[in-house]
Structure 1
Amino acid sequence: MPTKPSTGPMCTRDSLVTDLRAMGLRTGETLLVHSSLSSLGWVCGGSGVVVMALLDALGESGTLVVPTHSGDNSDPAYWGNPPVPEAWWAEIRASMPAFDARTTPTLGVGVIPETVRNWPGAVRSCHPQTSFAALGPRAAAIVDGHALDCRLGEHSPLARLEEGRARVLLLGAGFESCTAFHLAEYRVPSPRTDNSFAVMTPQGRKWETVRDTSISSDRFDELGAAFENERPVVRGTVGGGQARLFDLADAVAYAEGWLSEYRPRTSTT
């Protein structure tokens, strides 16, 4: 079958660095990136070149962080895309491979985070569903201590990024991908829920269930639109993709107020 011709623009490592610096990326800063490779156009060298460009723009003193989530390590009773037969659930819970920060692949976050996860020197947090990977001098401090009962809250890399005055780059991705908003969910009244996954313990593999805050990206697109209308958000173009750059702590603080007013949720224990 005939294939479609490649569409542009054509991006190189140098052109991406130029675009990123024009957005205002600063040498030495800590940056959380949510990304879509396909939005950039045709990248000469693929996802690895995007990572190189990000590292070039941040410099040796900067730290790059990406979500390396693996949401398939979860209770099959709640799977919906696609669901699996109930008759399979018990065997899935018994057989799901335990999370391994070194080898467990990402799911649903794009090829750029998967590339960072495998990059020489990358370190990764140890939550079996919502891990983050990082490169740079602050990487270890950011990913350390990610608690099993805190997917995206105070004991996750998001809180460490907030403390470190990190910024967020949405690189061809929308606000529905903005994990910083989830940190706000832990600071407003929110339901609690059981959360299950396979983990490795000193005694071996275990199917673990913990109590955690319920998280949802419902209406994050509306929240993001309101945030960039009222707060400083740099908008620009990287390759052929739209990009947004903003302060993570500012986004979390804004989201706390917005979620409380426009998306209230019943708090239960």
Structure 2
Amino acid sequence: MRAGDVVLMHSSLRSIGFVVGGPQAVVEALLAVLTPEGTLVVPTHTPENSDPARWTNPPVPEPWWPVIRAESPGFDPDRTPAGRGMGRLAELVRTWPGARRSIHPQFSFAAVGAAAEEIVSEHLLDDALGDRSPLGAVYRLDGSVLLLGCGHANNTSLHLAEWRQADPARHLVSGSLCRPDGTASWQEWEDVAEDESDFDRIGSAFEAVADVRVGGVGAATARLMSQRAAVDFATGWMSQHRT
């Protein structure tokens, strides 16, 4: 990771262990390495902004479903916090001075740095993790992926390979969106059905043939790789191994 790079980070602060200064110190260290010419990108997904009929962890009673759909506040990139599982570092980057966030109600990304606006400015509702999402922007900018204390199961960039398959499975998606006047609207749309169940396998196969830098950060293991190389490899792997 060098000055001027674009880096998409997935992280687990708990895995790093004790850090003097906590999450703020970690983000400041990353931005210092990247310099103002570089850009730090994080996922700020909100998977809970979805159809409660499909919730499994935990499920909710069916009588609650219409209430949740009617009363959920619409996704607001400025006010809606990153969802469960995104981590403290991602939420801190979302609120960092100068941060920009994409507008997708379930799969938003936040970015800080020179290319932040370019990365998050286009994020279509029906292309959550495809070429017209921040993942596609990081790919075009030849950015890197940093897995800090987590594995390839969390490597969201591999979803871009799913969107690039010849005939990917699709499904209906729904969530609460914010209208221009600030009121909420429950909407439904169609997109590619994401599936990360084989991402660990893809990551292991990729590491066997690619240049992945592996090292320690505190108590955590960190992996740094070319996003473009990982996506290209996963695209070919999925076309051969997925049915």
Q: TM-score, normalised by structure 1?
A: 0.87
Per the TM alignment, residue 238 of structure 1 is displaced from its structure 2 partner at its CA by 1.2
Computing the radius of gyration from Cα coordinates, the structure with the larger value is 1
CA contact (8 A) 2:72 2:184 kept: no
Per the TM alignment, residue 39 of structure 1 is displaced from its structure 2 partner at its CA by 1.0
CA contact (8 A) 2:153 2:196 kept: yes
Amino acid at match of 2:163: Y
- Deviant stretches of 4+, over 6 Å: none
Q: Which residue of 2 aligns with 1:184?
A: 161
Equivalent residue of 2:174, what SS?
Answer: strand
Q: Which residue of 2 aligns with 1:130?
A: 107
Amino acid at match of 1:178: N
CA contact (8 A) 2:74 2:179 kept: no
Per the TM alignment, residue 260 of structure 1 is displaced from its structure 2 partner at its CA by 1.6
Amino acid at match of 2:164: R
Aligned partners of 2:44, 2:155: CA distance in 1, in Å? 13
Map residues 100-111 of structure 1 onto 2, 5 A cutoff.
100-107=76-83, 108-111=85-88
Match of residue 155, structure 1, among 125, 132, 135: 132
Task: Give unmatched runs, 5+ long, in structure 2.
Answer: none
Equivalent residue of 1:208, what SS?
Answer: strand
Q: Quick check: 1:143 aligned with 2:143?
A: no
Q: Which residue of 1 aligns with 2:57?
A: 81
Match of residue 57, structure 1, among 33, 38, 44: 33
Per the TM alignment, residue 263 of structure 1 is displaced from its structure 2 partner at its CA by 2.2
- Aligned residues: CA RMSD: 0.9
Per the TM alignment, residue 48 of structure 1 is displaced from its structure 2 partner at its CA by 0.9
Match of residue 67, structure 2, among 68, 91, 114: 91
Q: TM-score, normalised by structure 2?
A: 0.97
Match of residue 68, structure 1, among 7, 23, 44: 44
Aligned partners of 2:6, 2:69: CA distance in 1, in Å? 37
Equivalent residue of 2:42, what SS?
Answer: strand
Equivalent residue of 1:57, what SS?
Answer: helix
Q: Which residue of 1 aligns with 2:179?
A: 201
CA contact (8 A) 2:31 2:40 kept: yes
Aligned partners of 1:202, 1:56: CA distance in 2, in Å? 37
Q: Which residue of 2 aligns with 1:237?
A: 216
Task: Give unmatched runs, 5+ long, in structure 1.
Answer: 1-24, 265-269
